[in-house]
Chains A and B, each alone.
Chain A
Amino acid sequence: MSAEQQYIELYQETKGMLCRHSAQPLNALREQAFEDFKQLGFPTRKVERYKYTDVAEAFAPNYGLNLNRIAIPVNPYEVFKCDVPNLSTSLYFVVNDQFYDKALPSAQLPEGVIVGSLKDAADTHPELVKKYYGTLARTSKDAINALNTMLCQDGLFVYVPKNVIVERPIQIVNVLRSDVDLMVNRRVLIVLEQGASVKMLFCDHAIDDRNFLTTQVIETYVGENAHLELYELEETHVKNTRFSNMYADQQTYSTAVLDNITLHNGMTRNRTDLTLSGEYAETTLNGLVIADKEQQVDNNTLIDHKAAHCQSNQLYKYVLDDKARCAFAGRVLVREGAQQTTSQETNANLLGSKEARIYTQPMLEIYADDVKCSHGSTVGQLGEQAMFYMRQRGIPYDEARMLLKFAFAADVLQTIKLDALHDRLNYLVDKRFRGELSKCEGCKMCK
């Protein structure tokens, strides 16, 4: 049986159950997604944007699903005691794909702001969800979008109304929790209306020693003059496989800071597509990957400059060791008419061993004549002279390596605007390089 076939059969057999335990706006796109998935199949490596990941292989194993929505016995608020100094967030949990609403944080959100289950929002605010759901993550274009749209039942919905500024950062901890191997299809929809502003932190964890396969689709709308900061942090374990597609659309004068950090994982594929639809929009897209053992991380980005006077900055750094195999492919597209675009794309990589591999492919495509764009990538080893200089001062070999790796990663961390998060990440990255973060023991952000 081909890898696709099991998902096709799964859908055909469980369609009724899928729909019963979800909501109409989500169900409405299922059938088309199914047709698109059948049509597309899993992308082979011949598909440009999937060159570096064997998708069919990742989806071949047979995982269980929780289509019946059986409640998972866990109280994340007890499992994760948050005592991060100075990082006071509104803390929420999503267990697998279910928003945990049993004990919500006492902190009040500003009026009209919604942070909650996507399914519930689709029931209570169907017109709002319908307006945005599935419009960025097109199922005809990407098999992961199609598969997720066909199978997802719930996830997260974040809505910030016009001119509302959410001061306190919103922290979402995605917890993978299961006693058997599990496939999770999580869906996230984020809408910032005109002039809205929010900072969010998504932390992904896997608390059980099981094989997990997650598909996640995030659709983000950043309205006119709205401001979004979204930090995504993966800190799972080596048995975790993640396919995450993130789409964001930015309107005039909006700003977005998106950070994607892979601290610890198994196999990760992140697709990030940003569209600058309105003039004078600004986007900062940063990534940090720390991988060793046989970890794999494939970041594939597209920044689509559709409007004039926009600015994009992209910096992805990888620190690889052992037999890690990673890829970065980033395409910046400046369309006809997107004059006065400023764009910078940098991918820098540090390889700590001979067996570590990085495939790097920065791409710049320009169809406008009055633009300032640059792109480039570097691959380097730990500097021998610097290593020796440190060792001559008595610093042991492993620690010298760690200091150099940390130094290399530091400038991505510096782009994090939330001071407390920045400090916390410095601490976590340091621990990671010391090898003290080799398995997920719950939310390190909170311990």
Chain B
Amino acid sequence: MLEIKNLHASVNGKEILKGINLVINDGEVHAVMGTNGAGKSTLSNVIVGNPAYEVTEGEIIFNGKNILDMKPEERAQEGIFLSFQQPVEIPGVSMTNFMRAALNAKRKHQGLEPLPAGEFLKLMREKRKIVELDSKLANRSVNEGFSGGEKKRNEIFQMAMLEPTFSILDETDSGLDVDALRIVAEGFNKLRTPQTSAMVITTTSDCWTT
């Protein structure tokens, strides 16, 4: 599924990743651990194509394609998803409009028509249940006024909506209380299939495996 070869990357001219090699096969979940500032989020951002990070050397092959020349949205449409360590608040953009735009972009990429409004809302309701996300949150602006835990659950909710084949969870478990952690971990496990894989950046690796 994913193969990283000799990856070097820098931020603001400072080299952070100095030759990473990694192979993740279909159905595998890899845990990544490391000290603060080790470069875990940098690796995540580079995989999803954040323009703030510069790849200076190496390759990332996803399902046989070199993705380094792809735009972030193209990588996402190909099935790569990042659960952000710090999800971004977007005032004025409703969760519903945001999700609709994301889902329909993916469908377009797959050659499908936009999902009819009724079906879309039904899907939203179904997927919300997976992470027990309050329906009120879905009517708000993206992440605006969400608690830390709600933001993390919202990331998994989006993952459920978009059904990526490869997911990166960047400390999705940190800062959660026991209940929230259970909900997030169970939600994630429900979404796993033999065809999907994940890279889980974590401080508490044991909760991700069932």
List residues of chain A with CB under 8 Å of any chain B CB. Answer: 383-386, 388-397, 399-400, 403-404, 406-408, 410-411
| Majority SS at the chain A contact face | helix
Query: Given the interface contacts A384-B52, A399-B105, A403-B98, does A392 sit within 8 Å of B76 by beta carbon?
Result: yes
Which chain A residue lies CB-closest to B80?
Answer: A392
Binds A, one of B9-17, B83-91, B114-122, B127-135: B83-91
Q: How far is B45's CA from A388's CA once the two chains are assembled, in angstroms? A: 10
| Chain B contacts for A388, CB-based, 8 A | 50-52, 72, 88
Which chain A residue lies CB-closest to B97?
Answer: A403
> Quick check: is B207 within 8 A (CB to CB) of the other chain?
no
| Chain A contacts for B105, CB-based, 8 A | 393-396, 399
| A392 in contact with B82 (CB, 8 Å) | yes
Q: A386-B93, A393-B105, A395-B105 are in contact. List 4 more A-B contacts (CB 8 A).
A: A395-B73, A399-B101, A403-B101, A404-B90
> Quick check: is B197 within 8 A (CB to CB) of the other chain?
no
Q: A143: shortest Cβ distance to chain B, in Å?
A: 40
Query: Given the interface contacts A384-B52, A392-B48, A392-B76, does A407 sit within 8 Å of B101 by beta carbon?
Result: no
Q: How far is B52's CA from A385's CA once the two chains are assembled, in angstroms? A: 10
Which chain B residue lies CB-closest to A389?
Answer: B88
Q: Which of A385, A393, A404, A408 contacts B102 (CB 8 A)?
A: A393
> Quick check: is B92 within 8 A (CB to CB) of the other chain?
yes
Q: How far is B97's CA from A410's CA once the two chains are assembled, in angstroms? A: 13
| A386 in contact with B101 (CB, 8 Å) | no
Interface string of B20-61 (1 = CB under 8 A from A): 000000000000000000000000000011111000000000
List residues of chain B with CB under 8 Å of any chain A CB. Answer: 48-52, 71-73, 76-77, 81-82, 84, 87-93, 97-98, 101-102, 105-106, 109, 141-142, 158, 162
Q: Which of B89, B97, B109 contacts A394 (CB 8 A)?
A: B109
Q: Which 10 A-B pairs have the closest CB atoms?
A: A407-B92, A394-B76, A393-B102, A389-B88, A391-B72, A394-B105, A391-B73, A407-B93, A394-B77, A386-B90
Q: How far is B71's CA from A394's CA once the two chains are assembled, in angstroms? A: 10
| Chain B contacts for A392, CB-based, 8 A | 48-50, 72-73, 76, 81-82, 84
| Chain B contacts for A411, CB-based, 8 A | 92
| B101 in contact with A397 (CB, 8 Å) | no
| A389 in contact with B162 (CB, 8 Å) | no
| Chain B contacts for A393, CB-based, 8 A | 76, 98, 101-102, 105, 158, 162
Query: Given the interface contacts A384-B52, A394-B76, A394-B77, does A389 sit within 8 Å of B71 by beta carbon?
Result: no
| Chain B contacts for A385, CB-based, 8 A | 88
Query: Given the interface contacts A391-B71, A397-B73, does A410 sit within 8 Å of B88 by beta carbon?
Result: no
Q: How far is B39's CA from A218's CA once the two chains are assembled, in angstroms? A: 62
Q: How far is B88's CA from A410's CA once the two chains are assembled, in angstroms? A: 19
Q: How far is B84's CA from A271's CA once the two chains are assembled, in angstroms? A: 47
| Chain A contacts for B142, CB-based, 8 A | 389
Q: How far is B92's CA from A36's CA once the two chains are assembled, in angstroms? A: 48
Q: How far is B50's CA from A384's CA once the two chains are assembled, in angstroms? A: 10
Query: Given the interface contacts A395-B102, A403-B97, A403-B98, does A386 sit within 8 Å of B73 by beta carbon?
Result: no
| Chain A contacts for B76, CB-based, 8 A | 391-394
Q: A411: shortest Cβ distance to chain B, in Å?
A: 7
Q: How far is B98's CA from A397's CA once the two chains are assembled, in angstroms? A: 13
* A–B complex contacts, Cβ < 8 Å, 10 sampled: A388-B51, A391-B71, A391-B76, A393-B162, A395-B98, A396-B105, A403-B98, A407-B93, A410-B92, A411-B92
